[in-house]
Each structure stands twice: as C-alpha cells, then as structure tokens.
C-alpha cells in the first residue's frame, strides 16, 4: 500500500507539472508579438534582427511581426505603434528612436496593458519612463566613449563622425562619447551625411578636404562605413587615416583584416531581437511579471543557450535591463565572428 500510495502521488505530481507545461506552451503558442523599428528598408544592418525574431518565434512557438517605416520617417513609426495598440498584440518591442516623438504612441500600448520592451536606441532610463518592461541594447554614449578611449591611446585628437541616421537623436550620443574621450569638439566633428551612398562619399571627401588636419573617422554602421571607405580610397587615405565603425558587414570585416578599419563596435544585434521575444513569450507562458525569474528561465532555456553559444553571443543580464554590448571586433577575434556577420552578428 505504501509503495502504491507513493507511486500514485508521484504520478499525480508529474501529471500536474505536465499540465502546467502544456498550458504554458499553449498560452505562448497563441501569442502574437510585434517588433517595430525606426530603420528604413535600405538599412541592411537590421537583417540580423529580422533573423533573430524569426528564430526566437520558432524556438518559443509564437508569432512575431516585423514592422518599420519604409523611409525611416518617425511619424510613420509612431503610426505603426498606434496600429499595434489597436490590433491587440500580446506584446510589442520598439526602438526609442526619439523619446518625444514616440512617447504618445507608446502610451497607447501601456494604457492597454500591452507589455512593451524597448531595444537598440534610447536608454534604460527612458525605457522606464515609458513604462516598458525592460530595455535591451547597447549604451550609446558608453560605446562611443569606449571607442574614443581606444583612439586616444593611439594618439588621436581630432576626428570626423559620419552620422547616416541623424533622424534618430540617440545616434549622436555615439559621436559625443567619442569626442569627449579624445577631447574634441563634438558638434564641429559631426556631419549629418544622410543615407545615400553617393551623398555620403561626397560629404566625407568634402569634409576631409576642408579639414586636412583630421586624424580619424568614425562611422555609425555599414550604411556610412562603406561609402567612407570608398572616399578614403579615392583620396589615397585608406589604411593611412585612423578609422573605426559601429556594427559589422562583410566589407567591414575585410577592412579589419587588411588594417584599414581599426575595429568594429559590435552591439550584438541578434540579442536585441531574440531576447525580447524570449522574455515576452516566457512572461505569457508563465503568467509572470517577475523579471528575475523570467530572465533566469530565458537564460536556462536550452534553445536560447544553444543559439547564443553557437554565435558567440554574450548578453549582460542585469537586475532589470539586459545589455547587448558594446563589444569590439578586432584582428584578434575577427575570425570567430565573421562567419556569422550579417546573419547572426
């Protein structure tokens, strides 16, 4: 009798746990999330995040819709957020491209008790003011300053910051951090290059002609890095003028290997898409808002762990927010990351 009684209790306990798992899985499977970015269609850097939300959706059994303003117009982005609020998503992931422009639209989500996770641009402080669950991204000023400190160690005292997405005010924090690290004038050292490759190349060339004492160039991503490399090559300065950039691409990887690019500042964008989906799905499945427990569940999830290990990604789990960078890709570690550049890095 004792043996039977124990077995029956064990069986019932197992059955209960199984029921909870199934219920949680069904809850997650019925979930529908949206990721709304500020990026125009022309910005290929966001392909990595598109890949990550697709994979996270498959791993966690949820649907994730990617939305963005085709031309990068923030008013259009605000409308997309308002539409998401009206469409009744179970959670929305959004970039803080401009706090003032987007806060009204994001409030429509939080007013409806739709969980919001902010990513990429903006700050954890802004995220909290917006009522978001957490922020997943790279501290922009700190990343720029870290790059500037490396430049200062190389003797750099003047630079040009090529900003191809000046429509996002947070982007200037990268330039400002770099400038303050080397003691340069932030505003005089920064140009709004636009995102047209021919225009970027022309503006970089013109600035360097007008400011021949410029020692370094910092670009904010592949969109501005590629035309800048062309401008330097045509001006006979490629490999001679100190250059660094944010983010990665095949062309940037090639520059790191041949020495024309000192390093790339990697914000591990894959994490910015994957982790928010994982967090929202886990919150929904467990019906929990305890971020410590939710983050621990994501961290312990075998599929999440496998993805991060495979791609060499290291999230920085905090008490509330999760950091995705910065990391620095140099000649020393380029071989490890270039395999996945443009897809998962």
For 35-79, how does the pLDDT look when each residue is reduced to its tens digit (9 = 90+)?
999 999 988 889 999 999 999 999 999 999 999 999 999 999 999
Q: What's the pLDDT score for residue 29?
A: 53
> Which one of 26-35, 225-234, 330-339 scores highest in mean pLDDT?
225-234
Q: Are residues 169 and 118 in the same domain?
A: no
CA dist 220 → 101, 113, 173, 217 (Å):
22, 35, 11, 10
Q: Which domain holds residue 66?
A: 31-138+268-338
With a cut of 80, say whether residue 4 has pLDDT above it: no
Look at residue 9 and tell me if it is in a domain: no
Q: What is the mean pLDDT of residues 218-229?
A: 97
Distance CA 165, CA 72 (A): 9
Q: Are residues 125 and 150 in the same domain?
A: no
Distance CA 128, CA 247 (A): 26
Residues 129-187 pLDDT 10s = 999 999 999 988 989 999 999 999 999 999 999 999 898 888 999 999 999 999 999 99
Q: Are residues 162 and 261 in the same domain?
A: yes
Tell me phi and psi for residue 155, to 5 degrees.
90, 15
Q: Are residues 80 and 196 in the same domain?
A: no
Distance CA 181, CA 104 (A): 35
Q: Are residues 50 and 120 in the same domain?
A: yes
Q: Are residues 231 and 146 in the same domain?
A: yes
Q: What is the mean pLDDT of residues 218-246?
A: 97
Look at residue 249 and tell me if it is in a domain: yes
Q: What's the pLDDT score for residue 2?
A: 36
Q: Are residues 221 and 277 in the same domain?
A: no
Look at residue 282 and tell me if it is in a domain: yes
Look at residue 88 and tell me if it is in a domain: yes
Q: What's the pLDDT score for residue 17?
A: 39
Q: Are residues 275 and 303 in the same domain?
A: yes
With a cut of 90, say whether residue 13 has pLDDT above it: no
Q: What is the 3-state secondary structure (H, E, C) of the chain?
A: CHHHHHHHHHHHHHHHHHHHHHHHHHHHHCCEEEEECCCCCCCHHHHHHHHHHHHHHHHHCCEEEEECCCCCCHHHHHHHHHHHHHHCCCEEEEECCCHHHHHHHHHHHHHCCCCEEEEECCCHHHHHHCCCCEEEECCHHHHHHHHHHHHHHCCCCCEEEEECCCCCHHHHHHHHHHHHHHCCCCCCCEEECCCCHHHHHHHHHHHHHHCCCCCEEEECCHHHHHHHHHHHHHCCCCCCCEEEEECCCHHHHHHHHHCCCCCEEECCHHHHHHHHHHHHHHHHHHCCCCHHHHHHHHHHCHHHHHHHHHHCCCCEECCCCEECCCEEECCCCHHHHHCCCCCCC
Q: What's the pLDDT score for residue 1?
A: 38
Look at residue 7 and tell me if it is in a domain: no
Look at residue 18 and tell me if it is in a domain: no
Q: What's the pLDDT score for residue 12?
A: 43
Of 223, 250, 266, the one marking the end of a domain is 266
Q: Are residues 60 and 105 in the same domain?
A: yes
Of 208, 240, 266, the one marking the end of a domain is 266
Q: Considering the chain, what is the average pLDDT of its residues?
A: 90
Q: Are residues 134 and 178 in the same domain?
A: no
Lowest pLDDT segment from 192-201, 238-247, 287-296, 311-320? 311-320
Paired strand residues for 92:
34, 116
Q: What CATH number has the domain bearing residue 173?
A: 3.40.50.2300
Report the domain count for the chain. 2
Of 240, 266, 292, the one marking the end of a domain is 266
Look at residue 2 and tell me if it is in a domain: no
Q: Are residues 167 and 238 in the same domain?
A: yes
Look at residue 13 and tell me if it is in a domain: no
Q: Are residues 171 and 75 in the same domain?
A: no
With a cut of 80, say whether residue 16 has pLDDT above it: no
- Using only C-alpha atoms, what is the Rg of the chain? 22
Q: For the whole model, what pTM was predicted? A: 0.73
């Amino acid at each position: 009798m004792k043996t039977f009684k124990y077995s029956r209790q064990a069986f019932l306990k197992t059955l209960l746990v199984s029921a909870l798992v199934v219920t949680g899985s069904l809850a997650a499977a019925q979930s529908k999330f949206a990721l709304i970015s500020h990026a125009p269609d022309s910005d290929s850097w966001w392909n990595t995040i598109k890949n990550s939300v697709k994979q996270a959706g498959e791993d966690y059994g949820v649907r994730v819709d990617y939305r963005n303003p085709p031309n990068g117009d923030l008013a259009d982005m605000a409308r997309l957020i308002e539409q998401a609020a009206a469409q009744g998503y179970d959670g929305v992931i959004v970039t803080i491209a401009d706090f003032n422009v987007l806060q009204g639209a994001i409030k429509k989500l939080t007013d409806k008790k739709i969980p919001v996770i902010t990513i990429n641009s903006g700050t954890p402080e802004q995220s909290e003011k917006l009522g978001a669950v957490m922020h997943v991204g790279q501290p922009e000023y700190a990343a720029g300053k870290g790059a500037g400190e490396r430049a200062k160690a190389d003797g750099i005292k003047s630079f040009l910051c090529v900003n191809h997405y000046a429509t996002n005010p947070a982007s200037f924090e990268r330039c400002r951090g770099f400038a303050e690290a080397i003691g340069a004038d932030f505003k005089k050292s920064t140009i709004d290059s636009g995102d047209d490759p021919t225009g970027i190349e022309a503006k970089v060339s013109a600035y360097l002609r007008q400011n021949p004492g410029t020692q370094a160039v910092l670009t904010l991503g592949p969109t501005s890095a590629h035309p800048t490399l062309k401008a330097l090559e045509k001006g006979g300065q490629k490999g001679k003028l100190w250059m660094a950039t944010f983010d990665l691409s095949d062309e940037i990887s090639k520059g790191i290997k041949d020495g024309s690019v000192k390093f790339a500042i990697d914000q591990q964008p894959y994490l910015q898409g994957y982790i928010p989906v994982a967090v929202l799905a886990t919150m929904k499945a467990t019906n929990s808002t305890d971020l410590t427990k939710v983050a621990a569940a994501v961290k312990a999830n075998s599929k999440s762990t496998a993805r991060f290990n495979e791609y060499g990604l290291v999230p920085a789990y905090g008490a509330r927010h999760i950091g995705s960078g910065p990391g620095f890709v140099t000649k020393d570690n380029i071989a490890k990351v270039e395999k996945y550049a443009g897809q998962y890095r």
